[in-house]
Structure 1
């Protein structure tokens, strides 16, 4: 039996979590793969804790190194709504993206009685048969009330915000990048305990602004301001070729190495309309991790530069009038 089948069977009797509950499990998986991480906030949720703890190392160890990144030269960058892009400067890419977004019309804010529909996918490599880019899904179709106030007040991940909260916060963000980043850090605060330690400002900014970019819906002009501010965060880079998201689509990767770790966070953008499409964590250098049962070393897991630890893709997002409705 392969690891993916074991993982599915392990959580077969676990209640299906919503997107807010899945986020802690995905972060926990990466925590297990990177034990020396500093500044990454640990989350807990009883609906995924059992599955996450047992499966984290297994999944992280088999995640792919070859999910099909398109290694095209930077000089022949993707064609987009902003023209052909050179993927050699995060400032150039993000400001061009912002220029294009500012030309898009803004629709009305969703009503409180409407729902946010999303479809998501994760990707891994099957270590048993060696095939790369094996894709699997957790509760891929998801509906959350736009005004999900009850859930927000009832034990959610501390990074959880309702779609309405995120929309209105994004719409109020100032033009000045420094002020914008300060407001985003306040909206998605850093930790203040030994289990969830505080992040350095740049890492906090990149994590928080990634959460804001991921929110749906966000007015185009607000997303433009978010991208302009993202470009000013110290340590931000852009991968000089298109990468593949968990759904196999080409994407622009805006990256920043996680402080004190062997990996980088990658915010993935559609190369044509610059919408948010996903998130990856990728190993930046070869390293080894000793897996123990608390006292005795049971196994040494080797990680290679370029290995994808986690990869999430949002393949659809829409505002709908009722739960169960699809666009």
Structure 2
């Protein structure tokens, strides 16, 4: 049996997933296939498939949507923070408090060109989705799920690859961040140039605020970023129209309590950028359904139903470090 026949027969009754549900499966599989981890956040309609393995994993991904279980209690104190009590009354207050703390931190030296970036990102749903892919296909692809990844700090081949306008290497991202201006409006304008909006075949053009938010979140995923640059990024983020913050800490995919900075990306869903309440580093991302709705697939298939509170993506970054070799852990 050829691969495409096997693919068509696999889960033939599965509903057609939407863009947000496709994203996590596509990202992990295409990263592994290309041989490097591209930590890119996209809010575009263009999610092209790179391989048979990506198609299979994405099909499985559509079958798993997890209900939010937020066990944090806003009446109880959260984790102690080095900056004092958290102020979650507004995005300006929360992000300003984070920026104040980061501006007081010493800027460490830039990583050497021969060093690697180690990341551990917990994604329980994606692990479950991967296990749903038939074993024979996983074996044929010689791939497996792992929350750990290593990215070369200096990746000249990736720097010269112009096919992905959102992707920047760790070194490029560090230097972009370090060179950002203090003024929030000027900073956002600069990032919109660095991470251009979709146009034609690359996806629909975003409005100014949606574009600014995506550019910020793409850069925030990078590691490391100088603390003073991260402070400027947070202050600029607080000025983007539509930004919100939950009034209490929420639980991420690993069970930690984190700050959630939010912004709707359509009428039914929102993105949550997660921030560690202790050191104010990037801690992950969630995409959450804000209004119950359903999506209609091809004729003869059942519509996909989403409930308010369903999580479409839930990634927790639990470790990040500069190391001297691929495979090394701090």
Report the TM-score range of the alignment, normalised by the length of the smaller protein. Answer: 0.7 to 0.9
- 1:265 aligned to 2:268? no
Q: 2 CA distance for matches of 1:304 and 1:161?
A: 35
- Give yes or no for contact 1:16–1:139 (8 Å, CA) kept in 2: no
Q: State the secondary structure of the residue aligned to 1:232.
A: coil
With the length of structure 1 as denominator, give the TM-score of the two structures.
0.80
Q: 2 CA distance for matches of 1:289 and 1:282?
A: 16
Aligned length: 288
Cα deviation for residue 76 of structure 1 reads: 5.2
1:67-82 to structure 2, matched below 5 A, reads 67-73=69-75, 79-82=80-83
In structure 2, the residue matched to 1:97 is: 98
- Give yes or no for contact 1:290–1:297 (8 Å, CA) kept in 2: no
Q: State the secondary structure of the residue aligned to 2:46.
A: coil
1:305 aligned residue (294, 308, 315): 308
In structure 2, the residue matched to 1:209 is: 216
Task: Assess, with a 3 A threshold, how the Cα gap between structure 1 residues 204 and 138 changes in structure 2: closer, same or farther.
Answer: farther
Q: State the secondary structure of the residue aligned to 2:67.
A: coil
1:159-198 to structure 2, matched below 5 A, reads 159-198=166-205
1:19 aligned residue (10, 14, 37): 37
- Give yes or no for contact 1:69–1:242 (8 Å, CA) kept in 2: no
- Give yes or no for contact 2:102–2:228 (8 Å, CA) kept in 1: yes
In structure 1, the residue matched to 2:5 is: none
List, as ranges, runs of 4+ consecutive aligned residues in structure 1 with deviation greater than 4 Å. 14-17, 75-78
2:286 aligned residue (271, 280, 284): 280
Q: Give ranges in structure 2 of 5+ residues lacking alignment.
A: 1-10, 15-24, 130-143
With the length of structure 2 as denominator, give the TM-score of the two structures.
0.79
In structure 2, the residue matched to 1:120 is: 121
Task: Assess, with a 3 A threshold, how the Cα gap between structure 1 residues 103 and 94 changes in structure 2: closer, same or farther.
Answer: same
Task: Assess, with a 3 A threshold, how the Cα gap between structure 1 residues 242 and 50 changes in structure 2: closer, same or farther.
Answer: farther
- Give yes or no for contact 1:17–1:139 (8 Å, CA) kept in 2: no
Task: Assess, with a 3 A threshold, how the Cα gap between structure 1 residues 254 and 69 changes in structure 2: closer, same or farther.
Answer: farther
Q: State the secondary structure of the residue aligned to 1:299.
A: coil
- Give yes or no for contact 1:77–1:87 (8 Å, CA) kept in 2: no
Q: 2 CA distance for matches of 1:272 and 1:213?
A: 17
Q: State the secondary structure of the residue aligned to 1:62.
A: coil
In structure 1, the residue matched to 2:150 is: 143
